[in-house]
Amino acid sequence: MKHHGGRVEVICGSMFSGKTEELIRRVRRATIARQTVQVFKPAIDSRHALQRVTSHNGQDFEAIPVNEARAILDQLQPGTTVVAIDEAQFFDAAIVGVVDQLAARGIRVILAGLDTDFRGEPFGAMPDLLCRADDVVKLHAICMVCGEEAARTQRLVNGQPANYHDPVIMVGAAEAYEARCREHHSVPGRELA
C-alpha cells in the first residue's frame, strides 16, 4: 500500500526510554497494513545481532546494517513505502539529506535515536532531524537514582560518571549507561557558561 505523501517521524529520548520498542511497534503495524518496510541500522551498533534491531526488552526486527547514511539509498528496494532507521544519532550528517530524499519520494520515514549524548548536549544529526520531522515523540525512562521521570543518559566508567572530555561515542548497554533525571545527571569537567 502506498502513502499519499512522504513523512518523517522521529522517536527520541534517553537510553532505556523505549525508542527502539516504539520503532518496532510502528514497523509491525505497517507490516500488518501490508506496507513494504525496510529497517536500517548503523553497522557500528554491534550490541545485538548485526542484522536485527533489538530493544532492551528483547523485541526485535530484521534490519540492514549500513556504514554510512547514503548506503540506505543504495539498499532501498523498489516498492518500499516505509523506511525505519534505528540509532539515527550514529549516522553521519548525510542522514538529513537521505531522509529528505526518502520523504520527497513519498516514503514514510521512522527514525529512533538519542536526542542528547551523555553530556546532555545535542547528539549528531538529531537536532536537524527533529527540526525537519512531521511528528516528534520524546520518550522518557525512569531515573536509576530516584525513580522519577528521566530524560538524560548517564555514562558510567567504573561506576562513576564519565568526564565531559571522554569520547562521545562508546556503544554499550546497562553496564556502561543508565537513565537519569536532570537533578541526578552528572558530568564532571563541564564548564558552565
The partner residues of 11 in beta bridges, in order of sequence, read: 112, 137
Per-position DSSP letters for 26-63, written without gaps between them:
HHHHHHHTT--EEEEEETT--SS-TTEEE-TTS-EEE-
- In angstroms, what CA-CA distances link 106 with 4, 39, 49, 75? 7, 16, 30, 17
Positive or negative, the Cα torsion across 20, 23, 27, 29? Answer: positive
**Active-site residue, selected from the candidate residues 9, 22, 87, 178:** 87
Instruction: Provide CB contacts within 8 A for 168, sequence distance 6+.
Output: 117, 118, 119, 123
121 assigned to active site: no
What is the rounded CA–CA span in Å between residue 192 and residue 143? 23
What is the rounded CA–CA span in Å between residue 110 and residue 27? 8
What is the rounded CA–CA span in Å between residue 104 and residue 86? 20
Determine the residue type at 61: F
List the catalytic residues.
Answer: 87
